[in-house]
Amino acid sequence: MSKVSVVVLFAFSVSVASALNCTWSKTTNKSLSTVADNMSEDWKNAQSVYNFTVKDIKGEDVSMEKYKGFVLIIVNVASKCGYTSKHYKELVELDEKYRDKGLRILAFPSNQFGGQEPGDAENICNFAAKQNVKFDMFEKVNVNGNDAHPLWKYLKSKQGGLLIDSIKWNFTKFIVDKNGQPVERHAANVSPLGMEKNLEKYL
């Protein structure tokens, strides 16, 4: 009797939610962002974005040195804004097109504009997963005011806005070059694909 070899193939499905690590353990703190532990950073003396530490969407510390040598888009996001659908879609497109060429997108949820990011970290992460996001998501922060995250104070000081330096709305985008220097700032009414040619200069 001849031997019959049976090969069993298993298909594993990896969801975008897993890529974003949206599964919280019982010990994970899901509270909304506070920046008290970051306020001691002397952002005025920072030489680049690499001098800062941020917290990811699960509240874990991330040194910005992780992004040395990459071109960055740093953007404040919201899930209930009129710009949400188009901006998330186009940010995902840029990420997919340029990730292998050295682009990294860093998204910081903020609830400072019309209360349009009201959820906790897990809600935000799950929403982003539904938008097919694979880029890095961070904790909810304030981007304006005395309690703004030091990184955002630094970004605004290096690339001021029209009339005032404050962030004016959701989806303000900063381009940071491979040396960690903020080189461009684009307002909410500029779509991510609308700044593609500018972005290509730095890749």
Name every residue whose Cβ is closer than 8 Å to that of residue 78 and which is 6 or more positions away in sequence.
84, 109, 110, 111, 113, 114, 116, 117, 170, 171
Q: Which residues are catalytic?
A: 81
List, for residues 20-70, the tens digit of each pLDDT value: 778 776 555 444 444 434 444 589 999 999 999 999 999 999 999 999 999
pLDDT tens figures, 73-101: 999 999 999 999 999 999 999 999 999 99
Rounded to two decimals, what is the model's pTM?
A: 0.85
pLDDT tens per residue across span 152-182: 999 999 998 777 889 999 999 999 999 999 9
Q: Which residues of 104-126 are buried (b: 16+ CB within 10 A; e: fewer)?
A: bbbbbbbbbbeebbebebeebbe
Can you list the domains of the chain with their CATH numbers? 41-200 (3.40.30.10)
